[in-house]
Amino acid sequence: MAKKSCGKRPCSICRKWYQPDVRQKDRQKTCGRSECQKELHRRNCHDYNQRNKEESANNYLGKKLEQLEPKIVKENNKKPPPDSPIHLKISQLPLLPTSPFVLPVEIIIKEYGMRNMVIIHYLVRKIITQLQSQKRGIP
């Protein structure tokens, strides 16, 4: 038999009072509005990514590389073809976030291919953040 709820409590997001669901047994944190649930999910994801920075960075790189591979290659389970000369302009590349440093993107893509460009961009970002954290005195 389900235990009766202890009464109303404030939502952890909007601070409005709500009657929690008795089936949740003190696990319910939000009032149930979709905005509050989305915000709680966003905060939980942010906290998880902060605790697991290396895993989050590896997932980020993996997702960017998966976007580059053609779907046909994945379906046929074959090796991806070597990168052909790219016909995209730099402004058409949604993969690369804006950053304070400047890389010769067109030259890197022409010489090494798009896949290697994403990896180089990732490594440069990691090196710069490591240097900035050393400069601030963070181990």
pLDDT in tens, 50-59: 898 878 777 7
Q: What is the mean pLDDT of residues 115-130?
A: 82
Distance between CA atoms of 11 and 33, rounded to whole angstroms? 10
125-to-18, 37, 52, 101 alpha-carbon distances in Å:
45, 32, 18, 9
Q: What confidence tier does 10 reach under pLDDT thresholds 50, 70, 90? A: very high
The residue that leads in pLDDT, 133 or 73, is 133
- Using CA atoms in the order 89, 94, 99, 101, what is the torsion angle rounded to 10 degrees? -30
Where do the domains of the chain lie? 51-136
